[in-house]
């Protein structure tokens, strides 16, 4: 699961230039979450449009069934099967840049320890996501995103058995490329990140 993460900051934008071709006209720093990001916050996302990688924004969380709550995570194993995610998996893949993410370890006495999980030697990394366009109660269209999760890598599985899919740098363009129609090939990218590259600390 990924229920909170640590947003990028302004200094990180320069590091994103190697994968971003354009800043979307819709990208506006006002109102974009910083620090610890919560579900329903407006967050930066990277997606492909007309062959170019665009930095834009989206609300974190697909609207839930019967408009109850939001769906912030999508399981990698069932993306091609679930009606909510199937079309987005085929056509609307994206990246969510982050500096880290948070997970909670629940102890036997029900107390919880909060951990910040990061990737060693990477100031920012990219989580695999899906986006789609929805209509709110006022009939206005908006973009929303969900973060894809997979089994936790062995190093942090004691904290939680799931983790966001963190894409290696050499797989980023392949994930975003809209010309890919082989969903099984794409699904093979959605694996736990290398254990030795993961770092964690209680916060």
How many whole angstroms separate alpha carbon 122 and alpha carbon 178? 26
Question: Which long-range contacts link 49-54 to residues 24+ away (Cβ below 8 Å)?
Answer: 52/21, 52/22, 53/19, 53/20, 53/21, 53/22, 53/173, 53/176, 54/20, 54/21, 54/22, 54/23, 54/24
Q: Which of 103, 108, 194, 197 is catalytic?
A: 103
Can 2 be counted among the known catalytic residues? Answer: yes
Can 94 be counted among the known catalytic residues? Answer: no
H or E segment and range at residue 133: strand 125-135
Q: Which of 2, 10, 36, 121 is catalytic?
A: 2
- Residues marked active site are found at 2, 103
């Amino acid at each position: 699961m990924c229920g909170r993460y640590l947003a990028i900051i302004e200094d990180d934008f320069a590091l994103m230039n190697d994968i971003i071709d354009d800043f979307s006209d819709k990208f506006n720093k006002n109102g974009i979450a910083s620090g610890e990001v919560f579900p329903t916050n407006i967050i930066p996302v990277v997606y492909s449009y007309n062959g170019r990688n665009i930095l834009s924004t989206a609300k974190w969380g697909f609207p839930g069934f019967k408009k109850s709550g939001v769906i912030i995570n999508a399981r990698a194993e069932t993306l091609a099967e679930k009606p909510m995610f199937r079309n987005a998996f085929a056509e609307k893949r994206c990246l969510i840049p982050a500096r880290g993410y948070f997970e909670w370890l629940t102890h036997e006495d029900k107390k919880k320890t909060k951990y910040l999980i990061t990737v060693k030697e990477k100031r920012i990394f990219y989580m695999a996501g899906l986006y789609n366009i929805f209509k709110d109660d006022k009939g206005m269209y908006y973009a929303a995103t969900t973060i894809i999760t997979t089994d936790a890598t062995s190093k942090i599985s004691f904290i939680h058995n799931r983790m966001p899919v963190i894409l290696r740098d050499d797989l980023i363009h392949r994930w975003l490329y809209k010309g890919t129609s082989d969903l099984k090939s794409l699904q093979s990218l959605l694996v736990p990140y290398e254990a030795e590259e993961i770092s964690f600390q209680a916060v």
